[in-house]
Structure 1
C-alpha cells in the first residue's frame, strides 16, 4: 500500500542545521545550530518528511570525499536519534563547475542549488505534498532552488531554528 503524501521540510545543511565556518566534513568540527535538532524532531512528530539538501562542492574541490559526507550524515542521524529525531533522506551535490576532480566537474550541475535537482529527486523518491512543503536555507540559491521546485522558501538568518520554524509547525 503506497504511503500518503505528506508535507516535506527541506533543509539546507551548513548554516541551517550546523554552523558554517566553511567545508564542514568532520564530526569534530560539526556544531548544531541552536534548536536544529529540536526542529527536526518536532517536524518528525508532526508527520512531516524531513530531507537535507546540501551542496558539497568540497568533494569536487578535493577537500574531502563522498565517504566523509556520508560518515558525517550518519553521525548527524545518530545525534538526532538521541532526541527522537531523524532525517528521512540526505541529498547532496558534490559537483561544481570548477571542480579540481573532473569526475565532479559540470558546467551547470542539475543538483547544485540554485538548480532544483535535489528537491526534485526527493519528490520522486517520496510521496511529497509539494503545496504544503517548505525549503529552509540561508542563501539566495536555496530560495531559488525551492521556488524552481515549486516549494515555498524561508530564509534562515541565524538564531534558534526551532523558534524560527515554530509558526510553520502544523500536523501533516
Structure 2
C-alpha cells in the first residue's frame, strides 16, 4: 500500500513538473521578442525560463541531499556497503558542484543586450557554469550507466 502511494506521488510530481516545464518552454519561445540596439533577440520571458531552471536545479540538489542524508541517518542496518555508497554519493555531488564552480569562468560576456547585464556578473556566470558542468557530468554518467547496463547484461547473461 505504501509503495502505491509513493508511486502515485512521484508520478504526479513528475507529470506536474514536466507540464510546467513544457509550458515555460512554449511561453519563452512564443511569448514574443524584440531586437535590441545591437541586433540581438531579447525574449520577453527570459526571466521566467531562468528562474524555472534555477528552481528545478535547486529542488533536485535539495531533494538529493535530503534523501541521501535521511537514508544515512536512519540506516540502522549493519550493511556497511549501503551506508558507504550513500555517503559517497553525497560527497561526489558536493565535490562536483564545488569543482564546477571553481572551474567556471567569471569573465563577462561581451555583446549582450541591456536586459542580460543583470546576470553578466562574475558570481552568476560561475554558478551558471557550475550548473552546466554538473548537467554535462550527469549526462555522461547516465549515458555510461545505460551502456554499461546493456553491455553487462549481454556479457554476464543476466
Q: Answer 1 or 2: higher relative contact order, Cα 8 Å, separation at least 6.
A: 1
TM, length-normalised to structure 2: 0.28
- TM-score normalised to the size of structure 1? 0.26
Instruction: Judging by fraction of residues, say which structure has more strand.
Output: 1
Higher helix fraction (1 or 2) = 2
Largest Rg, 1 or 2: 2
